Copies of this chain bind each other. A is one copy, B any other.
Amino acid sequence: MSSLRQLGELRIIRIMEQSFGNSRRAVVGFGDDISAMRLTRHNLAVLKTDMLVGSTDIPPGMTLRQAARKAVVANVSDLAAKGAKPYAGLVALGLPAVLREHDVREIARGLSESARYYGFSLVGGDTNESKDLVISIALFGLIDERKMVLRSGAKVGDIVAVTDSFGSAPAGLRALLDGKIRPQRLPQALARAVYHPRAELKLGLRLASTGAITASIDSSDGLAWSLHELSKMSGVGIRIGSVPISSAASEFADRYGYEASDLALYGGEEYHLIVTVNPPLLRKAQHAARGRLRAIGVVTKKSEGIRLAGRNGDIKIKMKGWEHFRR
């Protein structure tokens, strides 16, 4: 019998999905960023849960207030990718007994200010003692089914585009975890990416409303992983012209001997959007994104896999990312 560390998160998720089955009630079930149920003819209730765990999700130097905000961002980002608006949230807390009143206030502040920022209300919760700090958030949102963008709609010939460059958060995390740089010395761009991630909610809603986006996913598990997910759910291949690497990640990689494209491809903990666009509507999408949409590749036939164009021919992009239990 293998332990969870050997088993890996994917296998655990598969066990859960097999046990739960896919409900007829779910218009969108397991396998996408969110779940959705029909409320009226066109309106869906969107549900999402994402849990932040202190021992694995809080990097050195992150305050509890920042951690609470990150817990909210991780949930909102998945709704953003679908074009769904968060409406109300629940928060279940597991709090180590050593925390103090000030810590609880910091967590509460982080939660409430980010809920306000993304325009939803925290309406209920639960508080427990636990060994690990746990901030488990469940979001309830609403969406018009006709505007919802799933992972599964990409078509051969569509343009693959991203809302930002990649690698800053992974570079910052590597710097901290490998002890290259102390938290207070982290270059500003890396620190911002690690400690103050933002969910692209406005951008996601604007993009979804154009009708130009055929598939969408957030990049929290890394660019490579997300491309593989889009490919799997849409039954297509993807060919990327070049990896969109942030300048901060490039500088860090050059200076400390990392591979910048690996940081950008296989990092994770970034909350950008990766979308596929119907080519005749690209300009409309770019207009809605106000210059924040960068074409990086095209959707190909499934048999062609997930590839990156290189000088000496294409390179396969591995299905690798940030996975719990396996590090």
**A interface residue numbers (CB < 8 A to B):** 1-5, 7, 9, 11-13, 15-16, 18-21, 23, 25-26, 29-30, 34-35, 37, 39-40, 45, 47-51, 53, 55-57, 87-88, 90-102, 104-105, 108-109, 111-112, 115, 121-132, 134, 136, 138, 140, 324-325
Prevailing SS type, chain A contact patch: mixed
Q: Report Cα–Cα, A32/B265, bound state, in Å.
A: 46
Please tell me how many copies of the chain the complex holds: 2
Q: Report Cα–Cα, A40/B9, bound state, in Å.
A: 39
Chain B residues within an 8 Å CB radius of A5: 97
Chain B residues within an 8 Å CB radius of A20: 108, 111-112, 115, 121-123
Q: Report Cα–Cα, A129/B324, bound state, in Å.
A: 6
CB atoms of B19 and A108 under 8 A apart: yes
Q: How far is the CB of A57 from chain B (nearest CB, A)?
A: 8
Mind listing 23 A-B residue pairs with CB under 8 Å? A1-B101, A3-B98, A12-B127, A13-B125, A16-B104, A16-B108, A18-B108, A19-B109, A20-B115, A29-B124, A30-B123, A30-B124, A47-B138, A47-B140, A48-B124, A49-B91, A51-B93, A53-B94, A53-B130, A56-B129, A126-B136, A127-B324, A134-B136
Q: Which of B18, B29, B100, B127 contacts A16 (CB 8 A)?
A: B127
